[in-house]
Amino acid sequence: MRPLHSLLLCASLATSLPLAAQQAEDELKVAISALPAPLHLLQGQGGNVIASVGEDGVLIIDDDYTNYAPAYAGVLDGLAGGGKGTPRFVLNTHWHFDHTGGNAYWGERGAVIVAHDNVYARMSTRQEMKAMDRVMEPSPRPALPVVTYADAVALRFNGSTIEAQHYPRGHTDGDSVVYFAEQNVVHMGDHFFKDRFPFVDLGSGGSVQGYLANVQAVLERVDGKTVIVPGHGSLAKKADLQRYADMLEATIGIVSERLEEGADVEEIITQGLGQKWESWGAGFIDEARWIRTIAESAG
């Protein structure tokens, strides 16, 4: 909790927000990083966002948590100029609320929301996220995708050919990786947690083996100059994604081999994955949880 004096509002305000609300407002910061024009990387608290800003208007990939939408609106207005920052299109890489939380905000303002068929299916129905001990009620109509696809969709926008390609049974059952052909930029969604063990949402149709196969498939499409945007973390190159794939293959192999030898999950957790992968458990998913995910997916 911040010291009280840092939360006081200016005395000239005729009205004041509740203390907690003002604190939350103060913390809603969105960082901007350069990508090949006309693209920008925007980072708040949830998943990474790519914004395309140019003569055709604004398009964004993902939109963070719900409460961050006004902060993104201010940033996009600044980038577009003249208060023209409302996106014409919002592409969702998958259905999770840290990537789709702003959908309703933008949908109510006329944005066309685009996502895989399974994103619509999950957002329009009640979802029990056992991995997070959380229940998600159906999203309001403005938050739902209005353009959906089964395999892939392409948009021509601001001089970019933008391809959203579905990769099945990976992080969820509705994941897309978004390729910007002319800029050689790729948004991986949550098929990439840079230098960290991933969250594979088995309850949403995800699969550890499918996740690895999808990452390997993306590696076949990128080159050494590709700018890779992870779902979470800093900008990356092909070498970073290859290191990630190597981690996935090695740790899945370790757990699978020990299971085949008759070890139970708790024994594998006690043994650990080895010092080489120790730092990878510093994020949202620690080593024990990653081992349990691999074992549950294998079962």
pLDDT tens-place string over residues 148-180: 999 999 999 999 999 999 999 999 999 999 999
At 27, the pLDDT band (50, 70, 90 cuts) reads confident
Domains and CATH numbers, the chain: 27-247 (3.60.15.10)
Over range 268-278, report the average pLDDT.
Answer: 97
| 3-class DSSP assignment, residue 104 | helix
Amino acid (one-letter) located at 209: Q
Write down the pLDDT at residue 22.
39
Give me the long-range contacts of 251-259 (CB less than 8 A, separation at least 24).
Answer: 251/197, 251/277, 251/290, 251/294, 252/208, 252/209, 252/212, 252/294, 255/291, 255/294, 255/295, 255/298, 256/294, 256/298, 259/295, 259/298
**b/e 114-148 (16+ beta carbons within 10 angstroms → b):** bbbebbbbbbeeebeeebeeeebeebeebbbbeeb
At 267, the pLDDT band (50, 70, 90 cuts) reads very high
Mean pLDDT of the chain: 91
Write down the pLDDT at residue 148.
98
Over range 190-210, report the average pLDDT.
Answer: 98
Write down the pLDDT at residue 10.
32
Write down the pLDDT at residue 8.
26
pLDDT at residue 80 greater than cutoff 60: yes
At 26, the pLDDT band (50, 70, 90 cuts) reads low
pLDDT at residue 42 greater than cutoff 70: yes
Q: How far apart are CA 217 and CA 202, in angstroms?
A: 20
pLDDT tens-place string over residues 185-196: 999 999 999 999
Sign of the C-alpha dihedral, residues 273, 173, 163, 140?
negative
Write down the pLDDT at residue 45.
96
Q: How far apart are CA 125 and CA 174, in angstroms?
A: 14
Are 268 and 259 in contact, with CB atoms under 8 Å apart? yes
Q: What angle do CA 136, 169, 184 make, to 5 degrees?
A: 100
Sign of the C-alpha dihedral, residues 295, 118, 163, 49?
negative
What are the φ/ψ torsions at residue 128 (nearest 5 degrees)?
Answer: -100, 110
| Lowest model confidence (mean pLDDT) among 65-69, 185-189, 223-227, 295-299 | 295-299
Listed residue (209, 228, 100, 114) closest to 165, CA to CA: 114
pLDDT tens-place string over residues 235-248: 999 999 999 999 99
Q: How far apart are CA 185 and CA 236, in angstroms?
A: 10
Over range 89-106, report the average pLDDT.
Answer: 98
pLDDT at residue 21 greater than cutoff 60: no
Q: How far apart are CA 244 and CA 237, in angstroms?
A: 11
Q: pTM of the prediction?
A: 0.90
